[in-house]
Amino acid sequence: MKRFSLLFALAAAPLWTVPAWAAGIAMDDQSQLTPKPATAQARPAAFTPPREADLPDNAFGKLVREGRAIFVDTRKLAAEYVGNGMNCSNCHLEQGRKADSAPLWGAYPMYPAYRKKNDKVNSYAERIQGCFQFSMNGKPPPADGKVLNALTAYSYWLATGAPVGKEQPGRAYPEIPQPKGGYDIAKGKAIYAAQCAVCHGDQGQGQKSGDDYVFPPLWGKDSFNWGAGMHRINTAAAFIKESMPLGKGRSLSDEEAWHVAAFMNSHERPQDPRLVDGSIEKTRLRYHANDGVNLYGVTVNGVLLGQGTD
């Protein structure tokens, strides 16, 4: 295999143990989403967001441009709210425009929306705050502050002309069926070495130029934490299948995407900030037992995952 970048992958695969409860867990907790097939034949044309060249030269246009800048360089421009090496654009590709990569134009018109993750109807601002808390391993920006106002304006503008309250094709990540024989972490390790390590490092540490990450870390202290949606193997597999290796999306098979996603998420990362009474097991039962396919609270190669990183 040629070596390509895989924006979410990993590096040292172990033997693994999955308890009996894993077999019956649901694929996802985002019950407001309608699962979409990944087959090309079933994928209608996606919405086309406006061009940046068409932004007005006024106060609104200035705010939208500030939101775009924060979106692609979150670590620098919203540093006080980011606790790792991630930017918003690491998960929402092409500056939040790419269909089937959780584009902003697909999310904004669907809020307010119920999310099982916190069992409430969330505003769009609350949804973004959750991204900072989990994917960024940071803290939520204030709802009336500059960062959230700018990011909301950027999302609102990208959704110009999109129908409100109607789920659009390409809104989320396509659902990728789990391999009939289950995922295989050892196979994922080999795929990672061949396809991903050249950009993300043999230990999933990412790649830097100076203090800036050129490619994000996939596990460890500078990656997303155990509460982020990408910790679910099914979510990571969908992202990888659709968009990775970078520039070579949909070149991996469904099975390969699942294997490498399992390998990535079989490594330790920052603790779930919702940790219950300092207990991995209590946290697993409350937040992870029915949250897609994940390895939080599972022993991999003799190590209990979910302990977090320093």
Which of these, 68, 266, 61, lies nearest to 183 by C-alpha position?
266
Percent pLDDT > 70 in the chain is 86
**What does DSSP assign to residue 182?**
-
Which of these, 265, 259, 271, lies nearest to 204 by C-alpha position?
265
pLDDT in tens, 155-187: 999 999 999 999 999 999 999 999 999 999 999
Distance CA 68, CA 87 (A): 11
> What does 58-116 look like in DSSP terms, one character per residue?
SHHHHHHHHHHHHHHSHHHHTGGG--SS--GGGTSHHHHT-TTS--HHHHGGG-SEEET
Task: Please name the residues in contact with 181: beta carbons below 8 A apart, sequence gap of 6 or more.
Answer: none
pLDDT in tens, 132-147: 999 999 999 999 999 9
Which of these, 149, 150, 158, lies nearest to 69 by C-alpha position?
150
Distance CA 293, CA 16 (A): 14
Strand partners, 212: 209
Which of these, 2, 6, 1, 8, lies nearest to 264 by C-alpha position?
8
Which of these, 263, 199, 272, lies nearest to 237 by C-alpha position?
263
Judged on CB neighbours under 10 Å (0-12, 13-18, 19+), 178 is middle
pLDDT in tens, 296-309: 999 999 999 999 99
For residue 50, how many C-alpha atoms fall within 13 Å in the half-sphere facing its CB? Answer: 16
Angle at 68 between CA 232 and CA 137, to 5 degrees: 35
Express the helix, strand and coil content of the chain in percent, nearest 5 each.
Answer: 40, 5, 55
Distance CA 14, CA 188 (A): 10
Distance CA 43, CA 100 (A): 10
Distance CA 137, CA 266 (A): 18
Which of these, 127, 91, 128, lies nearest to 224 by C-alpha position?
91
pLDDT classification of 17: cutoffs 50, 70, 90: very low
Q: Over 60: is that where the pLDDT of 211 sits? A: yes
| pLDDT mean over 192-209 | 97
Res 298: pLDDT = 98
Q: What is the mean pLDDT of the chain?
A: 89
| pLDDT mean over 224-251 | 97
